[in-house]
Structure 1
Amino acid sequence: MSILAWNCRGLCNPTAIRVLADLVCSKRPKVIFLMETFVDRRKMEGIRVQIGYDNVFTVGAVGHRGGLAFLWMNTVVLEITGYSTNHIDTKLALDIDKPQFRFTGYYGFPERHRRREAWNMLRSLAAQSSLPWVTMGDYNDLLHQFDKRGRLPHPDWLLTGFRETVEDCGLHEFLFEGHKFTWEHSRGIENMVEEKLDRIFTTESWLTIFDGARATSALCPYSDHLPIILTPETLERRSNRKRFCFDNVWLREEKCREIVTQSWERTMGLDVFTRIEYCGNDI
């Protein structure tokens, strides 16, 4: 079972809906969280029928801004527990006999002057439940300078504020495979900017249950954001959890040595375990 989160930048035209239908066909997610749909509840109900989902919950757009939607199949057990224009909160189980956890689809305020408001909202959400928690979506925030390519560096006060928020919430970033810069602006010109705005965060208790979980970004021709697909899995069928182990003999390969050097330099200032995790992911 997989969960797809995507800032689709509008579902107002047939092309957008076809792209969403293609994603559904290729990735087969049982749960979908959509941001910036730009449509109301009636339109979203029609889209649900077109792409073949059993259920939909919609937070309608305000004019031509915002709009959130949750779609899910009857094969999962899902209960909507709260929502706003920036999030949809749920209790979710992959099957009736599977453990229940909390899943929050999150969309951060795009306006920079509302960053503190967004951080406080995330802290408030963290305090509302003790269930194992995973949250994913477009946070409109960066954790590190290496989360951005192009133009001016990201302001340090924004990096610090978001990192402190994540720590206060007891969350850990869940790294995904695929292209890391999930948002781009001005593609193909000299001033192109890429940023890692879309992320997954989990609590330690969620990671303990889903110790075989994995995630990846997916290519998409429509939006300026990439979708992220999370597959929550356990390792019950395997005796040992696979962990990244570095072999010094790899350094004899020039390309591998170059990857290690670049990874270690760009994660300067982080704790050693996080740096090893990033390095393993890069390799």
Structure 2
Amino acid sequence: MPKLVKWTRWFLRKEMKLNPPFDECPTTVHHLIMKIIIWNSRGALKPNFRSYIHDLVQNHDLAIMVIIETKLGGTKAKAITDRLPFDGAIHTETIGPRCEERRILWENLIKVADLHNMPWIMAGDFNEPLIEKDKYRGKGVHMNRSLAFKDCLDYCNMFDMGFSGPKYTWKNKRELNNLILQRIDRFFMNPDWCLLYPDARVIHLPRCHSDHSPVLMETLPIRNINLTRPFKFQEFWLFDTSFPSVVSRAWSGGRDLAECINTFSRDASMWNKTYFGNVHYKKRRVITRIYGVQ
């Protein structure tokens, strides 16, 4: 992560727990559950901070935790993370949540997007509501800042992962007459991440010890094992003009019935892979992009 970011972030990592090895799984897919929490703690020096982190780790079995703390850094931050229940930590220093720093963050994220074409996510306290529905009371959403945020997301091919739980992730802790609520702590993903983790979900956890709610993301990725699949005839093959030649070659040469069937199954499968590729994967990818546009 570039140095030019808005807050101190602590990426606290724990070894991920795997289900049984591939050869011990009774099904054709293998599941890896990874849980990540982002939380703007606003008070890492408070006496209850460590106990609350321990509770989050124990209750959710976290692989990664991102703690955002704007008023602490350097050796003090390291002293705190050394006492937390993780194997290690990465620290970045605070710059500040001003508009100029947000512009730098958007530019840096765009640079990251240009460096690769892999599945990835953006997560954190972005300190910027995107639309009016992301905010309750107070001044309206700043049009220019929200458009700059959206332009960054569009360039990076990102879309919101949605959520369950309370609608807003931040409150100003005022009485009802002056209460302001916002949804500014979020997870975004690109289409490739969605294909890799189709069952991923985001949950807004109860707000406690901070004006920000912890936000949990759980992934349930599906990894296919290379098993021999039974041959399956595809009806759409009949509409391709090159398909009759595949049939003709398989049934020529004076072979017996069983040999002709085996030859046809093998040749048709290879022909399908060459001409059409993985149609189901392509379909899921198109659907994912449609969801992203909507």
Q: TM-score range by the shorter chain?
A: 0.5 to 0.7
| Residue 16 (structure 1) shift | 2.0
Query: In the TM superposition, what whole-angstrom CA distance separates every residue of 1:31-69 from its partner, at most 9, and x where no partner exists?
Result: 111111633454444434533211112224xxxxx3xxx
TM-score by structure 1 length?
Answer: 0.62
CA contact (8 A) 2:158 2:292 kept: no
1:48·1:54 contact (CA, 8 Å) conserved in 2?
Answer: no
Superposition pairs for residues 187-202 of structure 1, below 5 Å?
A: 187-202=174-189
* CA separation of 1:223 and 1:172: change in aligned 2, threshold 3 A: same
1:34 is aligned, of 57, 67, 72, to: 67
Letter in 2 for 1:189: L
Cα distance, 1:207 vs. partner? 0.5
Partner of 1:13: 46
Matched residue, 2:86: 53
Give, in whole Å, the separation in 1 of the partners of 2:47 and 2:122: 29
The CA distance in 2 between the partners of 1:158 and 1:217, in whole Å, is 24
CA contact (8 A) 1:7 1:36 kept: yes
- The residue number in structure 2 matching 1:224 is 211
Could you tell me whether the CA contact under 8 Å between 1:11 and 1:37 is conserved in 2? no
Structure 2 counterpart of 1:6, which letter? W
- 1:219-248 CA-partner distances (Å, limit 9, x unpaired): 1321111111111113569xxxxxxxxxxx
Secondary structure of 1:211 counterpart = coil
> In structure 2, the residue corresponding to 1:51 is in which secondary structure?
coil
State the structure with more CA Rg. 2
- Is 1:130 the counterpart of 2:117? The answer is yes
**CA 1:203–1:10 in structure 2 vs 1: closer, same or farther (change >3 Å)?**
same
Residue aligning to 2:56: 23
SS in structure 1 of the partner of residue 56 of structure 2 = helix
Unaligned runs of 5+ in 1: 61-65, 67-84, 86-108, 238-271, 277-283
Is 2:163 aligned against 1:176? yes
Q: Equivalent residue for 1:82?
A: none
Counterpart of 2:68, as a letter, is M
Query: CA separation in 2, counterparts of 1:273 and 1:232?
Result: 19
Gaps spanning 5+ residues in structure 2: where?
1-33, 225-289
Which has more helix, going by share of residues?
2
State the Cα deviation string for residues 71-112 of structure 1 (Å, max 9, x = none).
Answer: xxxxxxxxxxxxxx6xxxxxxxxxxxxxxxxxxxxxxx6213
Corresponding residue of 1:165 = 152
Note the C-alpha offset of 1:22: 2.1
Per the alignment, do residues 118 and 236 of structure 1 end up closer, same or farther by CA in structure 2, a change over 3 Å counting?
A: closer
Give the direction of change, closer, same or farther, for the CA distance of 1:273–1:205 in structure 2 (3 Å limit).
closer
Distance change in 2, residues 1:21/1:132 (3 Å): same
Residue-by-residue CA offset, 1:100-138 (whole Å, 9 max, x unaligned): xxxxxxxxx621354433322221222222221112101
Structure 1 stretch displaced more, 32-41 or 200-209: 32-41
Distance 1:112 1:39, change over 3 A: closer
Alignment CA distance shift 1:49-1:165 (3 Å)? closer
Greater RCO (Cα-Cα under 8 Å, separation 6 or more): 2
State whether residues 48 and 56 of structure 1, in contact with CA within 8 Å, keep that contact through their aligned partners in structure 2: yes
